[in-house]
A and B are shown apart, each in its own frame.
Chain A
């Protein structure tokens, strides 16, 4: 029983991390059709800001968390202003290549200005303790991660349903020009999307740092790749799809690790991706892909 609870918590916390990052990708994609592969570098930037602020200004972990969130929001908005705004009207591939370019440039900047070796930043490690709930021993970080993700999704839902900018972001996913015709500035809507995406990256960064305790230039790339897969499973551009895909991927990963015999452990990733491929055979556009416009004129 306690083994099952532990594994469920494992699956939830894996899924929560994927869902957070996948949501960040999906928000930007739904509005401007950009697969932002530089999202991982936003996360890494959060890690480096933590090192800098942690060394120079404060060691208070809660202030540091605020600094990480702020840094991720700022860099995300800045990237849009500097790199993505110029290619906004270009086609999908141009945007994708720009994102890869930004990603490579940032990774190399981290390498040059930081270090190719991990730099320790351990202020968030305290989140990760083993706590005993009744007969079950669980990691506190996993509980925090699951709860924080649930709260973040709640806030996001509130934002998207109750504020004009949130409504505009949902509307823009369908018809951006019509949103502009309603009098909302395109730059403002897109900058908001990047800010929200950056905030989610910052939250993911806090949990990644709590687990790793150090930063590396390419630390964000793998999580974003996994989150990308989560987006694909859920249906690219769909926000509920990103969440569902994230948690589904977490569950499948843990299930495979639990059910696969120890000696086949190396095959875990292969089995996960085989299952993902099967899902895509069943639903080629992902499980919750946005409904296509019916295409007639009226």
Chain B
């Protein structure tokens, strides 16, 4: 579904990612692990088009690396970004409508929104509240639902567990597991190696802008060795 080759990402004069390759197969959940500053978010920004990059980014066979942000979104890339970035001044419902803004089949949007309210009843209860009044976990659910409102080919998740209490984190990972079972293709960026590896089919580890190791999720066991490497804590 997504194929990346020799990707280099720059922020002004600084090169954050120095040439990586990765592949996400259709229906798979692939995790990109790594410490702070390894280039994980930069990689996602290159895929969505919000950061400058060189190299090949192929979505369902076509090169999208020269397309502007909105064209990539229309072709099926959706992101729940770092920090969630929900539209806090819009209501929960309006956030979901925005998620579908690039879609042509306007008539199906209403039923999709109802579907999400069934899947996340708490969002349904608060549909007319400003999204800024939601708790962190609810905002994360909203960010994921907003991304999926576009019916994307691939869902990018940038640190969905960041800043959430452990119980809420577990709930978010449950949701991601559900999405995977529904057949949604996912590229997940995380620091929480243990939880991420459990869900994933394949894992890439990013360090200082380069992939330092990769392999099927089983190879990383429960992820505790990786967790040590990422956090620098040796237990």
Contact = CB atoms under 8 A, between A and B. Distances in A.
A2 to B, nearest CB: 43
Contacts, number: 78
A109 interface: no
Tell me the dominant secondary structure on chain B's binding face. Answer: loop
A178 interface: yes
A181 B101 contact: no
B229 interface: no
A181 B79 contact: yes
A174 B85 CA distance: 9
A1 interface: no
A171 B50 CA distance: 17
Interface residues of A, number: 22
Contacts of A175: 85, 87
Interface in B107-150: 136, 146, 150
A173 interface: yes
B90 A183 contact: no
Interface in A138-194: 164, 167-168, 170-171, 173-175, 177-186
25 contacts: A167-B90, A167-B97, A168-B98, A170-B89, A170-B90, A171-B89, A171-B90, A173-B89, A174-B87, A174-B88, A175-B87, A179-B101, A181-B48, A181-B70, A182-B100, A183-B70, A184-B102, A185-B70, A186-B70, A290-B89, A296-B163, A297-B82, A297-B83, A298-B83, A298-B162
Contacts of A167: 90, 94, 97-98, 101
Q: Is the interface of A mostly helix, strand, loop or mixed?
A: helix
A237 B82 CA distance: 26
Contacts of B163: 296-298
B103 interface: yes
Contacts of B89: 170-171, 173-174, 290
Interface of B: 48, 50, 68-70, 73-74, 78-79, 81-85, 87-90, 94, 97-103, 136, 146, 150, 162-164
A12 B157 CA distance: 51
Nearest to B89: A174
A111 B103 CA distance: 47
A167 B90 CA distance: 8
Contacts of B82: 297
Contact of A180 (B73, B99, B146): B73
Contacts of A171: 87, 89-90, 94, 98
Interface in A280-298: 290, 296-298
Nearest to B84: A298
A186 B163 CA distance: 31
